[in-house]
Chain A
Amino acid sequence: SAVISQKPSRDICQRGTSLTIQCQVDSQVTMMFWYRQQPGQSLTLIATANQGSEATYESGFVIDKFPISRPNLTFSTLTVSNMSPEDSSIYLCSVVPFSGETQYFGPGTRLLVL
């Protein structure tokens, strides 16, 4: 398994600002993903974080709005840029260990944009 931490765990932000969310894993992993869970909704994949290269974004998500970095095999960041109230969500990172047995999720970052 993998132990995943996210920072911050929650935040309240003003519209027009940006927030960077960190995802740290206790061991090296092959895949890292970022998901969004809007209030009362299911999880939607934002992008796959690729180590050393640009992230792969899903339809409806763009790099200018959600820039992602993954400098190594244990760490990734997601930035929510120029926030609006519609960005209020839980943002979760997930990882797949090199054993590839399954995908584990972090505890999430609860974001409220006023």
Chain B
Amino acid sequence: AQSVTQPDIHITVSEGASLELRCNYSYGATPYLFWYVQSPGQGLQLLLKYFSGDTLVQGIKGFEAEFKRSQSSFNLRKPSVHWSDAAEYFCAVGAGTASKLTFGTGTRLQVTL
């Protein structure tokens, strides 16, 4: 069975500081990996995805993520956080682009000014 672990429930960073959100997955085959963001009272917005190829993927809003097969990880990074990045971030894994997704428990990001 596939699963996703996001070890950090809550992270606080200062505006302008760098950010890394951790995601570890368990999947028997080649995973399709996603990061979504959910702002308060909003739906989910896709930040980026990894299917194959270059293991460093770029997304929207200045986010990037690196796929490391040996560590079963897909960590999300941003060099300089903005106050508007405060939200809940979800990592997800699926069998393909059209398959159901299994989500992690999410990491709530707080940004201090």
Contact = CB atoms under 8 A, between A and B. Distances in A.
Given A92-B43, A92-B44, A102-B49, A30 B98 contact: yes
A41 B105 contact: yes
A10 to B, nearest CB: 10
B97 interface: yes
A35 to B, nearest CB: 8
Q: Is the interface of A mostly helix, strand, loop or mixed?
A: strand
A101 interface: yes
Contact of B105 (A33, A42, A58): A42
A45 B102 CA distance: 8
B90 A100 contact: no
A96 interface: yes
Contacts of A67: none
Interface string A93-111: 0101000111111111000
A106 B43 contact: yes
Contacts of A96: 97-98
Interface string A74-114: 00000000000000000010101000111111111000000
Most buried by B among A92, A96, A103: A103
Nearest to B6: A42
Query: How many residues of A sit at the interface, in one of the four size bands?
Result: 20 to 34
Nearest to A30: B98
A43 B103 contact: yes
Contacts of B17: none
A107 B105 CA distance: 19
Interface string B79-111: 000000000001000101110111111100000
B46 interface: yes
B36 interface: yes
A50 interface: no
Interface of B: 34, 36, 42-46, 49, 90, 94, 96-98, 100-106
8 contacts: A31-B98, A33-B100, A41-B105, A44-B103, A45-B100, A102-B46, A103-B46, A105-B44
